[in-house]
Amino acid sequence: MSLCALSPLLSRVCRFKVCRRRVQECSTTRCTGWRRRCPRRLPVLCCGVRSVSTQTDKENIDLSKFPADRIRNFCIIAHIDHGKSTLADRLLEMTGAIAKTEKNKQVLDKLQVERERGITVKAQTASLFYSHQGQQYLLNLIDTPGHVDFSYEVSRSLSACQGVLLIVDANQGIQAQTVANFYLAFEAQLTIIPVINKIDLKNADPDRVESQIEKVFDIPSEECIRISAKLGTNVEKVLQEVVNRIPPPVASTDDPFKALVFDSNFDHYRGVVANIAVVGGQVRKGDKITSAYLGKTYEVNELGLLRPDEHPTQKLFAGQVGYMIAGMKDVKEAQIGDTLYLQEQPVEALPGFKPAKPMVFAGMYPMDQSDYPGLRSAIERLTLNDSSVTVQRDSSLALGAGWRLGFLGLLHMEVFNQRLEQEYNASVIVTAPTVPYKAVLSSAKLIKNRRAIQKNMVYIDDQRVMMKYIFPLNEVVVDFYDLLKSMSSGYASFDYENAGYQAADLIKMDILLNGRSVEELTTIVHRGSAYTAGKAMCERLADSIPRQMFEIAVQAAIGSKIIARETIKAYRKNVLAKCYGGDITRKMKLLKRQAEGKKKMRHIGNVEVPKDAFINVLKRKDK
C-alpha cells in the first residue's frame, strides 16, 4: 500500500484519494491489483482525469485568494432518507469535485454499513469550488447523519458552519428528525435554507410541505427551494442560495491562528487525521501547533482540503475547513472540540463541545474467550474513528471478559456492532441495552403504557400531529421504535433527545438460583415494573437451564424480598434404557458431548448454568 501512497505520479493521474483510502484498509496485494486494473478502467477514468486536471490547477491555487467573504460553510441536515447524501452527490458533481457518472450514489457514505443501510453514520466534509457571478467561492459542505443517534455528529458539524440546508421530503413532509435537526441549527443561530426534495415523486406535495415548514418552523414558504436531487432539478439554485443567503464566516487572516477540531479520524499509517475549521489566522505545513486541551505541541505534516478526498495544500486560511495531520498518534490527542493555536501564540480556547454522552449501554463479549484479543483490537480500532463510543472493560462470570460500551443510541449501537462484524470480522454477544433516562416522542398516534408523560401536541397540518412525551429511556431503548412503526403502519416517525435525568423510583433486582445471586444478571429496574421484569427474566432463565438432579428455584429478589419465582423441577429419571446389540457408539458420543458441555458450565452453587442461558437472558431479543 505504501507503494501506492508514495507514488506521486499515480496520485496525479487518478482519482487517487479514493483508491488510497480504500487501499489503506487492505494489503499490498490489493494495491498492485488495482494498479494492474488501472488501464482497463480508462473510460471511467477519463472523466476523472478531467476533474483532476482542474484539481491539479487548484492544488496550486493559493487558498489565500479565498478570504472569509468568499467562503461558505454549510451542513445538510434532514430526516433520514430525505435525500441529504443524494443532494451532496449532485453538489459534488456540479462543482467538479467528482466526475458526473451514474455511479455516484452517496459518494460520501463510504462505510459498508452506510452503503448497506443507505444511511450516513459519519459526517463527511467536502470543499467545493463554485463560481458565482464571476467570483470563485469556496463552499465547505458537511454531510451529516440523519438519524437521531448521530445528532452529536450533527451538532459538531454545525459548529463549523454558518448555515444549513434543511432537506424535507416533498412526499413525507416534516418528520421527527427534521424537527430535531431544525432546532439544533436554530439554537446554533445558523441560517436555515429549507430545501424541498424529491419533487419528482408522483405523490410529491411541495405546497403542503411548504405550509408545514411555515407553520412549524416559522420560515416563509417563499424561502423554500424545490428540487429533485435525484434528477438534478434546481440544484444550481441551491448553490446560488448558499452563496447569497449564508453569511461568510467571521474570521480574519490577520488574527493569530486559531482552529477548531470538529472531527477526527484515525489512519493506521499516518495517525490522527483531524478535521479543522480555521477560525482565525492561517496555518502552513511545517508550523508548530499546540493543542489547548493537552498543551502538547505538534508539527503540521500535511494539511489540505477534503474534496471529499484529501487534497493537500500548502496553507489553510481563516474561514476555511480542511484536514490536518500533525503526528498525533492517538485519536484522543485530537480531542474533538479542541482548539489549536501556533506554538508560543496562545489564544483563548473556543467553547468546544460537551463530550458525547452515551445514552445506551450494552455489554459486548466475544463468542468465545479465545476471540478476546481479536475483538479487543477490533473495538479499539473502531473506537478510534468513533470517539462517541465509550468503552469500559467489564467482565461477566458467564460471558467472560468483555466490555461495557456506551452508545449514543440504539442505531448507533447496531451500526457499531455491524461495523465490528463487517470491517473486523468479529463476532460478538451483545447484551440487552440498559440505562434509565427519558425521551421525547413526536408524531403520530400511539397510546402507550410506558410511563410516558405527554408534554404537548401540535397539529402540523390536517394529516400530521406532533406529540411530545417524556419517557424513561429504558422504556424506549429496546423495541419502542419498532412497535411504533408497526402500530402506525410505518407512518409514524420518532425522535428523542435527552431530557436530563429525573428522579425515578429505581431499584436493584437480583436474580437468584437456589438462593445464590447470579451477579451477571443483577439489573436496575423501575419499581413499578420490577415484578414484570423479574418474572420475565426468571421465565427466560428457567427455560434456558436444563433440569438437573435437584429442584432449582429461579427467583427475582429486591433486597431480601422475592418478587418472582420459577421452579425448574428435578429430574427424577434421566436414563435411556437401551443399548441394542452392543451399539454404544451413539450413546458414548452423546455422553461425551454432555461431558464437554459440562466443562463450559457456570456453577452457581451446585446449579450448572449453560452459557447459552445467560446469553438467552441477557441478549437483546431479535427483532
Partner 1 sequence: MCPSDEGQSSINLSDPFARMIRRTFLGARRALSPRGLRFVSGGEIIEDVSERAARPHLTEQASLYVHWPYCLRRCSYCNFNKYIPREDNQHVMAACLQREAETLLQLSQVSRITSVFFGGGTPSLARPSTIGAILETISRRVTLSDKAEVTLEVNPTPAGMSKMEDYCRAGVNRFSIGVQSLQDDDLKILGRDHSSHQALQTIEEAQRLCPGRVSVDVMFGRPRQSAETWEKELSELLRVCDDHVSLYQLTLERGTQLFKLVQQGEATVPADDVMAKMYRRARRTLHQSGFLQYEVSNFARNNAVSHHNTSYWKGTQYIGVGPGAHGRFVPLGAGAVAREARTQTLEPDMWMREVRQRGHGTRRRVQLGRLELLEEVLVMGMRMTEGVNHEHWELFSPQLGLHEVFGTSTEVQELLQSGLLILDDRGLRCSWDGLALLDSLLPALLVELEAQILSRPHRDHGADGQTQKTSNPR
Cβ–Cβ under 8 Å, residues 312 and 304: yes
What stretches of 455-529 show up as alpha helix (H) in DSSP? 473-476, 480-487
List the one residue from 550, 551, 559, 567 that touches partner 1 (CB under 8 A): 550
Strand ranges in 147-226 using DSSP code E only, listed in sequence order: 163-169, 191-197, 225-226
List the one residue from 393, 561, 573, 621 that touches partner 1 (CB under 8 A): 573
CB of 573 to partner 1, least distance (A): 4
User: Which of these segments, 84-92, 266-274, 435-443, 594-602, binds partner 1 (CB under 8 A)?
Assistant: 594-602
Q: Residue for cell digits 434421566?
A: 574
Cα–Cα distances in Å, from 478 out to 151, 211, 448, 482, 519?
Answer: 19, 35, 15, 9, 22
163-169/71-78 β-pairing: parallel
Rounded-to-integer distance, Cα 524 and Cα 412, Å: 22
Q: Does 574 bind partner 1 (CB under 8 A)?
A: yes
State the DSSP code for 620: P
Question: What is the contact mask toward partner 1 in residues 603 to 622, using x (rule: CB under 8 A)?
Answer: ---x----------------
List the one residue from 595, 621, 622, 623 that touches partner 1 (CB under 8 A): 595
* HSE-up (13 A, CA, CB side) for residue 112: 12
Q: Is 271 annotated as a binding residue?
A: no
Q: Is 145 annotated as a binding residue?
A: yes
List the one residue from 183, 459, 501, 571 that touches partner 1 (CB under 8 A): 571
* HSE-up (13 A, CA, CB side) for residue 458: 14
User: Which of these segments, 180-188, 364-372, 375-383, 593-601, binds partner 1 (CB under 8 A)?
Assistant: 593-601
Q: Does 6 bind partner 1 (CB under 8 A)?
A: no
Q: Does 9 bind partner 1 (CB under 8 A)?
A: no
Cβ–Cβ under 8 Å, residues 469 and 452: yes
List the one residue from 189, 218, 582, 622 that touches partner 1 (CB under 8 A): 582
CB of 548 to partner 1, least distance (A): 7
Closest CA to 88 of 232, 194, 249, 257: 232
AA letter at 365: Y
Q: Is the peptide bond before 256 cis (omega within 30 degrees of 0)?
A: no
List the one residue from 504, 548, 553, 565 that touches partner 1 (CB under 8 A): 548
Cell digits of residue 287: 508550523
Q: Is 82 annotated as a binding residue?
A: yes
Q: Is 83 annotated as a binding residue?
A: yes
Neighbours of 319 (CB within 10 A): 26
- How many residues interact with partner 1 (rule CB under 8 A)? 30
Q: Is 197 annotated as a binding residue?
A: yes
Q: Is 199 annotated as a binding residue?
A: yes
Map residue 257 onto helix, strand or coil. Answer: coil
List the one residue from 37, 490, 575, 623 that touches partner 1 (CB under 8 A): 575
Closest CA to 464 of 79, 51, 174, 217: 174
Q: Does 598 bind partner 1 (CB under 8 A)?
A: yes
List the one residue from 37, 354, 578, 621 that touches partner 1 (CB under 8 A): 578
Rounded-to-integer distance, Cα 162 and Cα 72, Å: 7
User: Which of these segments, 122-130, 294-302, 352-360, 597-605, binds partner 1 (CB under 8 A)?
Assistant: 597-605
List the one residue from 60, 561, 576, 622 that touches partner 1 (CB under 8 A): 576
Q: Which residues bind partner 1 (CB under 8 A)?
A: 547-550, 569, 571-585, 587-588, 591-592, 594-595, 597-599, 606
Residues of the binding site: 78-85, 143-147, 197-200
- In the annotated binding site for GTP, the residues are 78-85, 143-147, 197-200
